[in-house]
Homo-oligomer: A and B are copies of this chain.
């Protein structure tokens, strides 16, 4: 049978996978340092639940049916289960299902694959990994969690071998209040969503086209200009408040939004200076966000869009009696790695965890080599034993091909054990019970690569 790649389903070779593992490890470690607990949900949800959220996501859902059930007699039946297309829908379901057993506020992280049956394009996948954090509470959620989310994410990005990532923060109440203050949505509340959706295209289509679309949608030219003036405000400090005030619009919802955003930015200035900007054009398409919203840009790769987005929601999960408001943010791990790996911006120091290859002198003495390996492993040094008792030159090439930095030559009788750093050629006597590689060689390292000009 022919072996074919499936478009949109990325798979990594060993050295690329080490890069991915490093990213996932850093993300997990940072989330755990901040006291988030891990959740892993099943891959499938009832299709009915998947269709209930996320706009026109129905076009993108993969249905799942037992092959034995998909025969003729059941062919007219729609699949009852589908693969989840994000981690928010299963998280909300999990909270409702287990509310009695969870401690609130519930801080959870979730790093899993998701699937979308869309047409693949550059940087878009049909199967990809997301890394989410959310905090949900019962009934009410304290606003300080909205300030905490981007601090966690800023720490993740600071620990990853990538360029400067800027977290753009806005509060949905700012445009919503501002729009109402200039007469949008007074008679027809859908005008607000409408306007938000058009302004959200600013980066893609530019101010002129946004102005045209706004007027076509029924806004006056003056309203359109005011909307654009608001959207163009972007400041690293608290000066956005004065700049909004200077536009002369008054509305209590606007005041609330400005106070809330100022609190988030103030916390950013204190705990993660330089990581955040107040960016008043950020809207996030999804209807369920009600407060702070987040997007991110990687410097020099702004056209790739946001690698990490989220926001505050008041009623993502509700069982009718109890509502679970929350705030969350999601890192698009596969999209970020896809960019970095395809542009050669990040690389692993080797293609295997092994720091040492223990050479085999002759096949009959393999047990002695295995004993050396056992002694090294007992002290946490990853190693493997050479696959054959070939000439040492060939065994060294085996190590070299995988980037294994050290080759160990077992001693016997009066012959001392020796270890060779195959990068420098240095070879020294060594004791399997005590020799330690330099700390930076113990595990593969993953570093940013500066592209040559």
User: Hey, which chain B residues are within 8 Å of A271, CB to CB?
Assistant: 367, 370-371, 374
Say whether B380 contacts A115, CB under 8 Å.
no
Interface residue ranges of A74-103 to B (CB < 8 Å): 75-76, 78-79, 81-83, 93-94, 96-98, 101-103
Task: Choose among A20, A41, A65, A127 the residue with the greatest number of B CB atoms under 10 Å from its CB.
Answer: A65
Cβ distance A392 to chain B, nearest Cβ, rounded Å: 18
B-chain residues with CB within 8 Å of residue A20 when the two chains form the complex = 40
Q: Are A388 and B98 in contact, CB atoms less than 8 angstroms apart? A: no
Q: Which of B46, B62, B72, B354 is within 8 Å of A64, CB to CB?
A: B62
Q: Are B353 and A32 in contact (CB under 8 A)?
A: yes
Q: Does A70 contact B (CB under 8 A)?
A: yes
Q: What residues on B are CB-neighbors of A383 within 8 Å?
A: 33-35
The residue among A44, A93, A155 with the most chain B CB atoms within 10 A of its own CB is: A44
B351, A103: Cβ atoms under 8 Å? yes
Interface digits, A58-72 against B, CB 8 Å rule (1 contact, 0 not)? 111111111111101
Which of A4-12, A228-236, A286-294, A295-303 lies on the face that meets chain B?
A4-12
Contact A43 B401 (CB under 8 A): no
B residues less than 8 Å from A60 (CB atoms): 66, 68
- Whether A42 sits at the interface, judged by CB under 8 Å, is yes
The smallest beta-carbon distance between A274 and chain B, in angstroms, is 15
Interchain nearest-CB distance for A266 vs B (Å)? 9
Which of A47-55, A216-224, A244-252, A409-417 lies at the interface with chain B? A47-55
Flag whether A13 is at the interface (Cβ < 8 A).
yes
B366 touches A117 (CB 8 A): no
Chain A's interface size range is 35 or more
A33 touching B377 by the CB < 8 A rule? yes
Asked if residues A61 and B67 are in contact (CB atoms below 8 Å), the reply is yes
Q: Which of A13, A145, A398 has the most CB of B within 10 A?
A: A13
On whether the beta carbons of B352 and A97 are closer than 8 Å, the reply is no
Candidates B98, B127, B377, B401; contact of A42 at CB < 8 Å: B127
- A366 contact set on B, CB distance < 8 A: 144
Query: A261 → chain B, closest Cβ, in Å?
Result: 17
A3 to B42, CA, bound (A): 14
Is A437 located at the chain interface by the 8 A CB criterion? no
Cβ A17 vs Cβ B37 within 8 A: yes
Contact of A94 with B387 at beta-carbon distance under 8 Å, contacts A35-B353, A58-B67, A67-B63 already known:
no
A residues lining the B interface (CB < 8 Å): 1, 3-6, 9-14, 17-18, 20-21, 32-44, 46-49, 52, 58-70, 72, 75-76, 78-79, 81-83, 93-94, 96-98, 101-103, 105, 107-108, 113, 115, 117, 127, 137, 142, 144-145, 148, 151, 155, 267, 270-271, 319, 351-354, 363, 366-367, 370-371, 374, 377, 380-385, 387-388, 398, 401-402
Known: A14-B39, A70-B79. 16 other contacts (CB 8 A): A1-B46, A1-B48, A6-B81, A9-B44, A33-B382, A34-B383, A35-B353, A35-B382, A42-B127, A60-B66, A64-B64, A64-B83, A67-B82, A103-B402, A107-B384, A142-B387
Ordered by A's residue number, 8 sampled pairs between the chains whose C-beta atoms are within 8 Å are A3-B96, A12-B40, A34-B384, A59-B66, A61-B68, A65-B79, A270-B367, A271-B374
